[in-house]
Amino acid sequence: IGPAVWAAAAVTAQLVATSLVLVVVGSIGVGVVGARWPRTPVDVGLRLLAYAAWSMPAFLVGVLFLRWLLLPHGWFFGGRPGGGVVHWVRTMTLPAITLSLGFVGVYSRYIRSAMLVSLRQPYAVVARAKGLPERRVVLRHALRNSLIPFVSALSLEFAAIVGASIATDYVFGMGGLASLFIGSLRQADPFAMTAILVLIGGTVAVFMFLTDLALGSLDPRLRR
């Protein structure tokens, strides 16, 4: 079962990695904009979109994408990623957006709330008093401190991201761990199921270790 498990794990790993990039970039972007212009129409609109995105499960978003965007002759399509960069982008874009959309909705709230607190801290006030532009105060000083709760929450929810990737993989028929796991259930194969669960558990443990290192880099006080 080794080759089948590793081949399926490679597909799921690509999906999770791409989605994590979208989650980080999208959460920081939405959170910073909302904190920079709080209680404005832009902030209210982003918050409404964040709540709507978080309220919809990944498999429902995937089904809607399948109905609306995967047209018979459309640019995007489902299936196993591979066969060149263009084919990979066409098969990976919609699943990655499906998986990351809800998590951007919730994690952007962490960034916004932490940024609102950081921008009122004494170090931000002193930075403005010294003449630093507001953009540098936001990105250089407030954002770095605001990333600490975001990274902590992301490490705790990584297992949920992996679990949602299983549903996304199954909806789009990508041939990842979801297909292998469903096939193992139908065949009542405990060995393949055990291998999949051990692989997922080990991946979550490694990711949590890496986030601990990232937290130490963001906040030197944690190194002690």
pLDDT of 100 strictly over 70:
yes
Q: Whole-angstrom Cα distance, residue 26 to residue 22?
A: 6
pLDDT of 195 strictly over 60:
yes
Number of alpha carbons in the 13 Å side-chain half-sphere of residue 147: 20
Q: What DSSP character marks residue 139?
A: I
The better pLDDT of the pair 63, 27 is held by: 27
Tokens 């998590």 — which residue?
103
Residues composing the chain: 224
Furthest-apart CA atoms within the chain: distance in Å: 68
Tell me the pLDDT tens digit for each residue of 22-34.
999 999 999 999 8
Query: Which pLDDT belongs to residue 54?
Result: 87
Of 2, 20, 14, 15, nearest to 207 by C-alpha is 20
Q: One-letter amino acid identity for 41?
A: P
To the nearest whole number, what is the mean pLDDT of the chain?
Answer: 85
Q: Whole-angstrom Cα distance, residue 147 to residue 139?
A: 11
Query: Which pLDDT belongs to residue 55?
Result: 87
Supply 96's token pair: 């990655």
Q: Whole-angstrom Cα distance, residue 175 to residue 155?
A: 26
State the average pLDDT over residues 1-23.
88
pLDDT of 70 strictly over 70:
no
pLDDT of 73 strictly over 60:
no
Long-range contacts of 41-47 (CB under 8 A, 24+ apart): 46/108, 47/109, 47/112
